[in-house]
């Protein structure tokens, strides 16, 4: 998709308007298409991409926000300390729905049928195959961060943000009388590209959490997820040990779905 992709802001019932209003609508379509393609993205970045002044791009972003098709995510900049999080724009659930989510409905129906024919193990195998690619891509970068769990969590956050999960990592230091061993990193994800699918099949969230645990080298716990109604996905990463356990050898790829299905069908 390119920035010139037309993404209608209003429905087909939009009344005829003046040439100026039509031009504004076309411009907002361009802004919305850019948010879709590049989000999470800042207003300044959008202005640079589209050649708009800061005032012009903010006017269109405000309109799209009021229409409910985009929303603001606050993202902490790596290394920015306790400074104010940056504002980044992403499509809202309403905006995603306006573009159509037939692919999610088709995927959900396919997984429902798979579960019916082969059982929940087959759905888990599918989820594991999906997240195996994430683990392979992220592992070298996180290993380069060294053994410190906080550094590894920060590296994981940066990798997730590049994949449009709008991630941040906040260090929570335990203060007396609490023991230092209770210190942690809260890894947050403000966007999930498969949120609706994960709401129907929570195993996707479970498998992602297992991948995070292997990547940072310590047991982690998922506190909330977008799929289950949370404002963000939040993963608790304990840092009391401060160094990761040796990374296990890369797991063999999960059994292909055909093998899982055959195994399930052979059960008495």
Q: 186 to each of 22, 59, 189, how far by Cα in Å?
A: 45, 34, 10
pLDDT (0 to 100) of residue 212:
98
pLDDT (0 to 100) of residue 146:
95
Q: Is pLDDT above 60 for 13?
A: no
Mean pLDDT of 161-167: 85
Which of 17-21, 145-149, 218-222, 249-253 shows the lowest mean pLDDT across its residues?
249-253
pLDDT in tens, 51-64: 988 888 889 989 98
Q: Which residue has the higher pLDDT, 104 or 70?
A: 70
pTM of the model: 0.62
Q: Is pLDDT above 90 for 105?
A: no
Token readout for 153 is: 């969590």
Q: 118 to each of 109, 115, 124, 129, 261, how far by Cα in Å?
A: 14, 5, 11, 16, 5
Any residues with CB less than 8 A from the CB of 119 and at least 6 apart, and which?
264
Q: Is pLDDT above 80 for 76?
A: no
pLDDT in tens, 205-255: 999 999 999 999 999 999 999 888 887 899 999 997 766 665 555 555 444
pLDDT (0 to 100) of residue 11:
46
pLDDT (0 to 100) of residue 266:
40
pLDDT (0 to 100) of residue 108:
78
Q: Is pLDDT above 90 for 65?
A: no
Quick one: pLDDT band at residue 84, thresholds 50, 70, 90? low
Quick one: pLDDT band at residue 268, thresholds 50, 70, 90? very low
- CA angle 167-131-36, nearest 5°? 50
Mean pLDDT of 179-197: 85
Task: Please report the DSSP string for the chain in residue order.
Answer: --TT----SS-TTPPP--HHHHHHHHHHHHHHHHHHHH-SB-HHHHHHHHT--HHHHHHHHHHHHHHTSEEEEEEPPTT-TTSPPEEEEEE-HHHHHHH--HHHHHHHHHHHHHHHHH-HHHHHHHHHHHHHHHHHHHHHHHHHT-SBHHHHHHHHHHHHHHTT--EEEEEE---TTS-GGG-EEEEEES--TTHHHHHH-THHHHHHHHHHHHHHTS--EEEE-GGGT-SSEEEEEE-TT-BPPPPPPPPPPPPPHHHHHHHHHT--
Cα 211 to Cα 134: distance, rounded to the nearest angstrom = 8
Nearest to 95 by CA among 52, 65, 122: 65
Cα 268 to Cα 253: distance, rounded to the nearest angstrom = 27
Mean pLDDT, rounded, of the chain: 78
Q: Which residue has the higher pLDDT, 228 or 81?
A: 228
pLDDT (0 to 100) of residue 86:
75
What's CA 11's distance to the chain center, in Å? 28
pLDDT (0 to 100) of residue 35:
82
């Amino acid at each position: 998709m390119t920035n010139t992709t037309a993404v209608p802001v209003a429905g087909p019932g939009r009344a005829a308007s003046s040439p100026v209003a039509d031009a504004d609508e076309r411009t907002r379509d361009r802004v919305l298409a850019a948010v879709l393609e590049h989000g999470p993205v800042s207003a300044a970045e959008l202005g640079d991409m589209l050649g708009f002044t800061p005032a012009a791009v903010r006017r269109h972003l405000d309109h799209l926000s009021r229409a409910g098709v985009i929303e603001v995510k606050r993202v902490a900049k790596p290394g920015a300390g306790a400074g104010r999080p940056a504002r980044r724009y992403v499509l809202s659930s309403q905006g995603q729905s306006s573009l159509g989510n037939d692919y999610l409905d088709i995927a959900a129906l396919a997984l429902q049928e798979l579960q019916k024919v082969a059982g929940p193990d087959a759905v888990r195998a599918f989820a594991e195959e999906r997240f195996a690619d994430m683990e392979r891509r992220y592992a070298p970068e996180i290993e380069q961060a060294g053994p410190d769990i906080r550094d590894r969590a920060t590296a994981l956050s940066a990798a997730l943000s590049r994949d449009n999960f709008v991630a941040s990592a906040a260090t929570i230091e335990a203060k007396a009388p609490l023991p230092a061993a209770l210190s942690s990193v809260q890894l947050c994800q403000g966007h999930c590209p498969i949120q609706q699918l994960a709401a129907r099949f929570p195993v996707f969230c479970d498998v992602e959490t297992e991948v995070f645990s292997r990547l940072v080298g310590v047991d982690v716990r998922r506190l909330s997820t977008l799929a289950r109604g949370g404002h963000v996905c939040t993963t608790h990463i304990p840092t009391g040990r401060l160094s990761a356990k040796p990374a296990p050898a890369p797991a063999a790829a999960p059994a292909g779905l055909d093998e899982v299905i055959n195994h399930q069908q052979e059960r008495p």
